[in-house]
Chains A and B, each alone.
Chain A
Amino acid sequence: MFRLAWFAGQGAAPPAWNKPWSGNIGKDWAKPDHHIDLARALERGCFDYLMIEDGSFITDSYQGKPDYALRNGWAVPKNEPMSLVPLIGQATEHLGIVATITTTFYPPYMAARLGATLDHLTDGRFGFNLVTAHNDRTAQNFGLEKMLDHSLRYQMAGEWVEVVDRLWHSWDEDAIVDDHENGIFIDPSKVRPIEFEGRFFKCRGPLNTAPGPQRRPVLCQAGGSGPGMDFAAKNADTIIAIVTDVADAKRYRQEMDERLISLGRDPKDIKIFYSVSLVFGEIEEEAQEKRRRLDANAQASIEHWLFEMSFSSAIDFSKFDLDQPLPKLTTNASKSLTAKLNLVEGLTLRQIASAPHLSGIRFTGTPATVAAQMGEVMEEIGGDGFLMYESTTRRIVTEITEGLCPELQRRGLIRQTYSYRTLRENLRSF
């Protein structure tokens, strides 16, 4: 069996505005219903978890101004995602709910408290997706001139996890005794300060709330860079891998396993989800035709890819001549894009930007044929799951949860019911 997860890559911002089947998202974007309905559908499809992205800036890398992002409603306006978690928790019973937190700007004590609270409010189905933030504009919202250096951010994040984890362990398992006869609610000997003093953080503790059912919420991570993967290998329960094809996924799995083994961790304890790009049709021909059409549209919207590349790398791609090859690129922002671009020789920027945008392993066909293909591909990769990374309209969600998932279940490829109460238990159940 394998697993499914959904990455709401736009966070609590309007997903897919002004597309066919966007619904009234333009005016309804701030209502929680979109995410609640998505979660309910994913639970029907027995997904492991929904992961909600986040960021704290409006991108202006493309053309040196935020106009493109604002005009197109791209990742803006974006509400704070943690506030959605309790609502999704109330509306579901089994689905894991993972939301993004920025370790660089969220004090560990506050994060430990928030994590425990959300773990309680979701009955142990909560997880943090850890990001360090990659952009100078984010840093400038928090009073810094520039974002911290890439590898320093990850060192800081490593220490952050240590502090937060110690706070979650500052209450013993049996601290709450609830002994009415002797008048003892909490055994004082079972709650202790942590007295942490590190390079980046100092924290006395203890936490002033008891940990939730998981004690340590699930930790998710998505870095594709070297330090990012090292950080994930050390701390994560689950990893999001944005890959281009099967070979890329296999390579990622191998590199991560090597890291895990060298750290003394069992590769089975960390579940990796590989991004996919799905196109469905009622018959095969319809699906193939749709795929061709989508690729053609992508090729036509060069400006959009230039914008997205500018967003993640913080490099203004509008500055380059479209019909020349790119120079060597460096960035302190997200490094995975520039790493990939530096490997592509001889292609012009136009050719790169208008090539099919490979953000996931491609599956095209009817739900039945896609399900079968997925089974074979996961055999080849060696586990653990696929990540839906689509722009989220209700139609796309329905195609997956009501079309694909039953086919996968019929083939015994994904679970038919959840075995456990908490997210980590379900993640480790096979």
Chain B
Amino acid sequence: MFHIGWFLGSGFGIQSWGVPGAVASDHQWMRPDPYIRMAKLLEEACFDYMMFEDSLMVTDTYQNSMEYPLKHGASSPKNDPLPLLPILARETSHIGLIGTIATTFSHPFSAARLGATLDHLTNGRFGFNLVTASSHRSAQNYGLEKHVEHDKRYTMASEWMDLVGRLWDSWEPGALVADEDTGVYVDHTKVHLVNFEGEFYKCRGPLNTLPGPQHRPVICQAGGSGAGRAFGATHADTVIGSSNGMEPMRSYRRDMDRLLAERGRKPTDCKVLFLISPVLGDTEEEAQEKQRAITAQTEASLERSLFAMSYFSGMDLSKFDVDEPLPADFAARINGHQSTMSDYMSAGSTLRQMAKHRATTSVELVGTPDKVAAQMDEITQEIKGDGFLVASPVTLQSITEIARGLAPALKRRGAIRSGYEHTTLRENLLAF
């Protein structure tokens, strides 16, 4: 069996504006209702989790202006996703709920407290997706001139996670006694100072709340760079893979195996899930037709791809000739999403060629639900991977196709679970 989740790349924000069937769009983008319905459908489909992306700025890398993202509703407006999770938890019983937090800007004490609280309010189904943030504009919202350099962000994040973990550990299991006869609520001998002093953070502790059912919420991570993978291997229970094709996917999983082993962890301790956007149809022909339309649209909206690549690379790509090879120092200048950009670069040597790559599609999956289910099964066996993250647009149609079409086909093959075995997210993730 493998794992399956949904990666909401636009977080708790405007989804697919202008696309028919968009559910959290127009004047509904800030309502919890579309996400409640989605969570219920994905729980019916027995998904492991929904993961909400987040970012902390309005990007103006492309054309040195905020015009493109604002006009097209691409990435803004976007609410803080963490307050949405308790609402989704209340409306569901089993599905995991992961929300993004920026380690660079969120203090470890606040994050530890928030994490414990959300773990309580989701009955142990919560996870943090850790990002370091990628844009100078994010840093400038927090008073810095420029963003912290890429590798240093991960060094900071590692110390951040170390401290957050220690704060969760500052309460021993069994600290909460609640003995009405002796009048003792908390056993003070089981609550400890942390006295942390690192390069970036200092914290006395203890945490002033009890950890939740998981004690340590699930940690998710998505950086594919060297520093990112090392960080994931050290701290994460699940990582998001977005490679471009079978070989890179296989090698990502192997690389993680190696990095995990170096840190005394087993390959099964960290689930690598690859981004996919399956194209489904009632018949093979219908699916192929849809795929042709998507390809044509991607090529036609070159500007959309240039916008996305500008965001990922941190460079204004409107300044480049789309049919000329990139300058030699291009890769070195990327301070943003390094591995995502290298996937684009493996698709071609000019921007127009690179634009054909879709960051949310590690491998093409086109066909009827049964055919796609079979493909997903084969791929998993071959790369020895752990599963997939659907990153399709959030529209009524795609949610329904996946939850009511693809998921049942996967269940029929015994490829995904047919029911949840455990009550907490980590237990369900580690069950196989």
Contact = CB atoms under 8 A, between A and B. Distances in A.
B58 A107 contact: no
Contact of A78 (B26, B57, B208): B208
A120 B30 contact: yes
Contact of B184 (A71, A82, A186, A212): A71
B87 A121 contact: yes
Interface stretch (A84-92, A330-338, A349-357, A417-425): A84-92
A35 to B, nearest CB: 11
B203 A209 contact: no
A276 interface: no
Contacts of A30: 120-121, 210, 212
Interface string B100-114: 000001110110011
Contacts of B117: 12, 79-80, 83
Interface stretch (A139-147, A250-258, A362-370, A372-380): A139-147
A137 B191 contact: no
A185 B71 CA distance: 5
Contact of A70 (B31, B73, B187): B187
B354 interface: no
Contact of A87 (B76, B82, B90): B90
A109 B142 contact: yes
Interface string A155-197: 0000000000000000100001010100111111001000000
Contacts of A109: 56, 105, 141-142
A106 interface: yes
**Interface size of A as a range:** 35 or more
A85 B73 CA distance: 27
A79 B120 contact: yes
A78 B120 CA distance: 12
A58 B82 contact: no
B348 interface: no
Contacts of B64: none
Given A118-B83, A188-B67, A208 B55 contact: yes
Nearest to A118: B83
Nearest to B81: A117
A288 to B, nearest CB: 29
Contact of A208 (B57, B71, B118, B120): B57
Given A12-B117, A14-B185, A76 B178 contact: no
Interface string A105-125: 111011001101110110000
B391 to A, nearest CB: 21
Contacts of A212: 30
Nearest to A55: B208
B178 A17 contact: yes
A80 B107 CA distance: 14
B322 to A, nearest CB: 21
A201 interface: yes
Interface string B66-77: 110011110111
A206 to B, nearest CB: 6
Contacts of A141: 109, 203-205
Given A120-B79, A142-B109, A83 B26 contact: no
Contacts of B142: 107, 109, 203
B203 A113 contact: no
B27 interface: yes
Contacts of A328: none
Interface residues of B, number: 71
B17 interface: yes
Contacts of A73: 178, 185-186
B58 A191 contact: yes
A267 interface: no
Contacts of A185: 14, 17-18, 70-73
Interface in B83-130: 83-84, 86-87, 90, 105-107, 109-110, 113-114, 116-118, 120-121
Contacts of B180: 18, 26
A67 interface: yes
A80 B114 contact: yes
Given A109-B142, A110-B105, A143-B201, A67 B83 contact: no
Given A55-B208, A83-B121, A180 B18 contact: yes
A208 B186 contact: no
Contacts of A87: 86-87, 90, 121
A393 to B, nearest CB: 14
B202 A77 contact: no
A206 B80 contact: no
A121 B35 CA distance: 12
Contacts of B87: 86-87, 90, 121
A77 B82 CA distance: 21
B78 interface: yes
B176 interface: yes
B32 interface: yes
B83 A114 contact: yes
B87 to A, nearest CB: 5
Contacts of A83: 82-83, 86, 114, 117-118, 121
Nearest to A36: B90
A203 B141 contact: yes
A73 B184 CA distance: 8
A325 interface: no
Contacts of B141: 109, 203-205
A202 B139 CA distance: 10
Contact of B70 (A70, A120, A142, A187): A187
Nearest to B32: A121
Contacts of B78: 208-209
B79 to A, nearest CB: 4
A110 B67 CA distance: 23
B143 A202 contact: yes
Interface in A206-259: 206, 208-210, 212
A55, A67, A76, A187: residue with the most chain B Cβ atoms closer than 10 Å:
A76
A188 B66 contact: yes
A319 interface: no
Contacts of A31: 120
Given A32-B121, A67-B188, A83-B114, A140 B208 contact: no
B113 A56 contact: yes
A70 B114 CA distance: 20
B65 interface: yes
Interface string B25-55: 0110011100000000000000000000001
Question: 6 closest Cβ contacts across the A-B interface?
Answer: A73-B185, A26-B178, A185-B73, A140-B204, A204-B140, A202-B143
Given A117-B30, A117-B80, A186-B73, 19 more contacts: A18-B185, A26-B185, A56-B109, A56-B208, A66-B188, A70-B185, A76-B186, A79-B117, A82-B83, A86-B83, A113-B80, A114-B80, A180-B18, A185-B71, A188-B66, A202-B143, A203-B142, A208-B76, A208-B77
Interface of A: 12, 14, 17-18, 26-27, 30-32, 55-58, 65-67, 70-73, 75-80, 82-87, 90, 105-107, 109-110, 113-114, 116-118, 120-121, 137, 140-143, 171, 176, 178, 180, 183-188, 191, 201-206, 208-210, 212
17 contacts: A17-B178, A17-B185, A18-B183, A26-B178, A56-B113, A67-B188, A71-B184, A79-B116, A80-B116, A83-B118, A84-B121, A86-B32, A121-B83, A141-B109, A142-B203, A186-B71, A208-B58
